[in-house]
Chains A and B, each alone.
Chain A
Amino acid sequence: MEQLSYGAFSTDLHQRQTGQRAPTQVSIEVTRRCPLECQHCYNNLPMGDQDARSREMTTEEHFKMLDELVDMGCFWLLYTGGEIFARKDFLEIYTYAKQKGFLITLFTNGTLINEKIADYLVEWPPFAIEITLYGRTRETYEALTMIPGSYDRCLRGIKLLKERNLPLKLKTVATSINKHEVVAMRQFAEEELGVEFKIDGQINPRIDCSQSPLAVRLTPEEVVALDMHTPKGVSEYRRLAKHDLERPPNLSQVDTLYFCGGGMESFAINAYGEMGICVLSQQETFDVRQAGLKQAWEHSLHSVRMRKRSRVTKCVECRIQSLCAMCPANGEMENGDRETPVSFLCNVAHLRAMVIEAEVPTHGECEFCAGGSEHGALVESARRITSREIDVESWAGPQQILPILNNVGVAAGGCGGCGRH
């Protein structure tokens, strides 16, 4: 029988879908409860949060939703949390999805994985399992997760999956608490375990509007130093910058507020049965328990996805959009407005461009462009990175955990100011 590589298959499927609105991918958040209390997390809730638990979709509601997803043509499915294994019925839901034929990826912190779960996953293998590693030492890992014993439990989970040759990938979220162990984590994953490793330097405020995760966010200078730490990173950013500069600005070619695949080929369902553009964009979500997925996709989410942008920001004519993580969800979380540019992300993008010596044509009033108020600081940051004055390999651990900033008046679980919490 003829063989086809997965890469060719996936590329072909995505190309066929270009420009068409059809939901082939869905992210399902099964719970926001988690046994860890990571300081940077955007949505975690305590394991014992009975209110959250009572609002979660039931097992039967998950089954019904999976039936609907099959009818809608969904193919790729991501289960995420919170912590997916915090739900006692997760394997039951997962098995139902497997029997339906979805290609399933699991996001987990690994701390609740035991032999029984690992053996079960051998019997019903997912497409991929991604475990987030928060440190290479117990001290660092648990400084971020705030839970004693969690480091050993995570390593046990990794070991159980690896021993069974399951499709494991590791990743980390680089923060001010664990940045000095990122290199060691990469070595552990790639050299000791032989698995893929990814670093995410992006931290968002919480979806309940709390800004608390930003207290452990890396500085733009640190984010870019980490990006450019490997030759592969440098060459990839050069490729993206070249691509951007050779073409008209992408955003000027669309007039919708959202410009991503969210609402076009993908959507997210949160733990409470609400559909949104993605797991981050939660200001406008739609209850699918009563109306059903198809109705929400074809009407409510469609109207959000097709909404026109209200103004022309500096992002619209920007020529380094591929170096920037700005999107409506990030604007929503950081500024409370989907269109207002996020200064942190703009800073990071311009610094990336400067480090790889990509020219940035003017694009409105941008403080990071030549002549802007922040341009001088940007030049100095780029110098420190390229001269290796900032050396990722010699980063030290934090002297102390700094108090949470930007969190004054924030009640537990949210801001109380946006009308949703």
Chain B
Amino acid sequence: MKGELRQVDGKKPYEPPSLKTINLRPEEAVLGHCKTSTGGGINIGCQFFTCSSVGS
């Protein structure tokens, strides 16, 4: 059927791309900066893969 998405051979069905708008709000940054507090407002430095040199 036209427009219907079906899973074929176990592959992930095709999803047409969609446009989304993102409001850039730095207070929602997931990771903090090196030399400053990390998420949650505490200061524990770089830890594992939550380390980020750039607030992102």
Q: Which residues of A are in contact with B by a Cβ distance under 8 Å? A: 1-7, 9-11, 13-14, 18-19, 24-27, 75-78, 103, 105, 107, 127-128, 130, 167, 169, 171, 196, 198-202, 227, 232-233, 236-237, 239-240, 250, 259-262, 264-268, 278-280, 321-327, 329-330
A14 and B30 contacting across the interface, CB-CB below 8 Å = yes
Nearest chain B residue, comparing its CB with the CB of A174: B43
A322 and B30 contacting across the interface, CB-CB below 8 Å = no
B36 and A130 contacting across the interface, CB-CB below 8 Å = yes
**Selected contact of A14 from candidates B33, B41, B56, CB within 8 Å:** B56
Given A1-B20, A130-B36, are A327 and B52 also a contact pair (CB < 8 Å)? no
Closest Cβ of chain B to A249, distance in Å, is 11
Whether a CB of chain A sits under 8 angstroms from the CB of B1 is no
Which chain A positions have C-beta within 8 A of B28? 5-7, 10
Q: Can you give 30 contacting A-B residue pairs, CB < 8 Å?
A: A1-B19, A2-B18, A6-B26, A6-B28, A10-B31, A19-B49, A76-B55, A78-B53, A78-B55, A103-B56, A128-B26, A128-B55, A167-B24, A167-B26, A196-B27, A198-B41, A200-B36, A201-B43, A227-B43, A236-B41, A236-B42, A250-B47, A260-B48, A260-B51, A266-B53, A278-B34, A278-B53, A280-B35, A322-B44, A325-B45
Which chain A positions have C-beta within 8 A of B46? 260-262, 278, 325, 327, 329
A266 and B33 contacting across the interface, CB-CB below 8 Å = no
Whether a CB of chain A sits under 8 angstroms from the CB of B22 is yes
B residues 4-44 with Cβ under 8 Å of A? 18-37, 40-44
Nearest chain A residue, comparing its CB with the CB of B47: A322
- CA of A25 to CA of B51, assembled, Å: 11
Which chain B positions have C-beta within 8 A of A227? 42-43
Closest Cβ of chain A to B17, distance in Å, is 12
Q: Other than the known A25-B54, A199-B37, A200-B35, what 15 A-B pairs have Cβ atoms closer than 8 Å?
A: A1-B19, A2-B21, A3-B20, A3-B23, A6-B24, A7-B30, A27-B53, A105-B55, A232-B41, A260-B51, A261-B46, A266-B53, A278-B34, A279-B53, A322-B44
- CA of A3 to CA of B18, assembled, Å: 11
- CA of A10 to CA of B50, assembled, Å: 12
- CA of A171 to CA of B37, assembled, Å: 9
Given A2-B20, A3-B21, A4-B20, are A25 and B52 also a contact pair (CB < 8 Å)? yes
A77 and B26 contacting across the interface, CB-CB below 8 Å = no
Given A25-B56, A327-B46, are A169 and B51 also a contact pair (CB < 8 Å)? no
A77 and B53 contacting across the interface, CB-CB below 8 Å = no
Which chain B positions have C-beta within 8 A of A240? 42, 44
- CA of A9 to CA of B54, assembled, Å: 16
- CA of A217 to CA of B41, assembled, Å: 20
**Selected contact of A279 from candidates B21, B25, B34, B45, CB within 8 Å:** B34
Which chain B positions have C-beta within 8 A of A130? 33, 36
Q: Which residues of B are in contact with A by a Cβ distance under 8 Å? A: 18-37, 40-56
- CA of A77 to CA of B52, assembled, Å: 11
A330 and B37 contacting across the interface, CB-CB below 8 Å = no
**Selected contact of A262 from candidates B32, B43, B51, B56, CB within 8 Å:** B51
Given A130-B36, A265-B49, are A78 and B21 also a contact pair (CB < 8 Å)? no
Given A3-B21, A330-B45, are A25 and B53 also a contact pair (CB < 8 Å)? yes
Closest Cβ of chain A to B31, distance in Å, is 7
B47 and A321 contacting across the interface, CB-CB below 8 Å = yes
Given A14-B31, A250-B48, A327-B45, are A5 and B22 also a contact pair (CB < 8 Å)? yes
- CA of A24 to CA of B31, assembled, Å: 13
B23 and A260 contacting across the interface, CB-CB below 8 Å = no
A261 and B23 contacting across the interface, CB-CB below 8 Å = no
Given A78-B55, A227-B43, are A18 and B49 also a contact pair (CB < 8 Å)? yes
- CA of A267 to CA of B53, assembled, Å: 7
Which chain A positions have C-beta within 8 A of B42? 227, 233, 236-237, 240
**Selected contact of B43 from candidates A18, A105, A261, A325, CB within 8 Å:** A325
A261 and B50 contacting across the interface, CB-CB below 8 Å = yes
- CA of A1 to CA of B22, assembled, Å: 10
- CA of A262 to CA of B52, assembled, Å: 7
**Selected contact of B23 from candidates A2, A5, A321, CB within 8 Å:** A5
Nearest chain B residue, comparing its CB with the CB of A18: B49
- CA of A262 to CA of B51, assembled, Å: 7
A6 and B47 contacting across the interface, CB-CB below 8 Å = no
